[in-house]
């Protein structure tokens, strides 16, 4: 596996791969790789000739009171994990490499961002869209892989790729979970012992909602109420949001039909956990 830290070298490697007729699968990450990232790398390996993994903690998507400086980082470990699971290239640029000067152009996401995480994190998805667009220009992949744990991010990137006619296929991949249902996340390390014991209630609430819909419930309100009841009774965290929306449009729904997302976020002492289920009713 080759580790590349400059944009110029990554673009040259991509040009060489294009000349050789190699397909490229791309897994963008912020590092501290866990089983969720590994599943993306392994799927990309199965579906492409070459796999590029990027590690870049993007400052543009962190708010002033968020955890950019304390976000977990361990490049040596990440190199080992990426190599063991089939990555051919690890793109690891510095902030100075990615943003060497004051930007003259800003990407602003206008839809799909006034709900869920976007509602309380203004500008967050502008930062996501900016770094994803830059990475797509640098890596030039045939396919880009995202975990559906952050389904809003997938919806935003879907809109970005469509709006700008970017020649890449988005591959959404199922959320990878612990044995008790908790979605894998780099931020899980911030949970206290008690909070970690409570955290599986997030997925339990979503599965209860799914069962209600499967049993014929088509009114969102009772479903939302049940999810709130479970989270309130079984966790000490503060509920950030509970929403049911169309997907990927992320619009409010009056009736549970077609493709929808049930999404939740809970703030614990040092970690904010998100989870969701996407259903076709």
Q: Is residue 181 part of a domain?
A: no
The pLDDT, as a whole number, for residue 72 is: 81
Answer yes or no: is 36 a known binding residue.
yes
Answer yes or no: is 33 a known binding residue.
yes
Question: Is the separation of the CB atoms in 16 and 57 below 8 Å?
Answer: no
For residue 227, is pLDDT > 90?
yes
Instruction: Examine the domain organization and report whether 92 and 195 are in the same domain.
Output: no
- Give the global pTM: 0.92
Answer yes or no: is 31 a known binding residue.
yes
CATH number of residue 118's parent domain = 3.40.50.620
Write down the catalytic residue from 13, 37, 112, 134.
37
Domain that holds residue 65: 2-173
d(CA 79, CA 225): 44
| pLDDT tens digit sequence for 204-216 | 999 999 999 999 9
Q: Is residue 250 part of a domain?
A: yes
Q: Is residue 179 part of a domain?
A: no
Instruction: Examine the domain organization and report whether 57 and 148 are in the same domain.
Output: yes
Average pLDDT over residues 126-155: 97
Look at the block and give the residue holding tokens 């708010």: 63
85 catalytic residue (yes or no): no
d(CA 154, CA 160): 10
Q: Which of 115, 145, 173 is the last residue of a domain?
A: 173
Distances (CA, A) of 221 to 149, 234, 263, 274: 23, 20, 14, 20
């Amino acid at each position: 596996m080759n580790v590349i830290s400059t944009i110029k070298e990554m673009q040259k490697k991509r040009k060489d791969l294009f000349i050789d007729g190699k397909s490229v699968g791309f897994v963008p990450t912020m590092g501290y790789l866990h089983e969720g990232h590994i599943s993306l790398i392994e799927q990309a390996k199965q579906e492409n000739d070459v796999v590029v993994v990027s590690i870049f903690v993007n400052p543009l998507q962190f708010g002033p009171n968020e955890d950019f400086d304390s976000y977990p980082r361990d490049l040596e470990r990440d190199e080992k994990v990426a190599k063991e699971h089939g990555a051919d290239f690890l793109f690891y640029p510095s902030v100075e490499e990615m943003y060497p000067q004051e930007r003259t152009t800003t990407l602003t996401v206008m839809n799909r961002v006034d709900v869920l995480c976007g509602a309380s994190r203004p500008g967050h998805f502008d930062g996501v869209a900016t770094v994803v667009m830059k990475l797509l220009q640098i890596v030039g992949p045939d396919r880009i892989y995202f975990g559906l744990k952050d389904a809003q991010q997938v919806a935003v990137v879907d809109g970005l790729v469509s709006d700008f006619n970017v020649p890449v296929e988005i591959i959404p991949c199922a959320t990878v979970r612990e044995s008790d249902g908790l979605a894998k996340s780099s931020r899980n390390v911030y949970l206290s012992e008690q909070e970690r014991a409570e955290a599986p209630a997030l997925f339990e609430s979503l599965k209860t909602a799914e069962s209600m819909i499967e049993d014929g419930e088509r009114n969102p309100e009772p479903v939302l109420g049940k999810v709130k009841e479970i989270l309130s009774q079984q966790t000490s965290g503060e509920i950030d949001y509970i929403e049911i929306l169309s997907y990927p449009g992320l619009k409010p729904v009056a009736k549970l039909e077609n493709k929808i997302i049930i999404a939740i976020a809970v703030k614990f002492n040092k970690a904010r956990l998100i989870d969701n289920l996407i259903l076709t009713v």
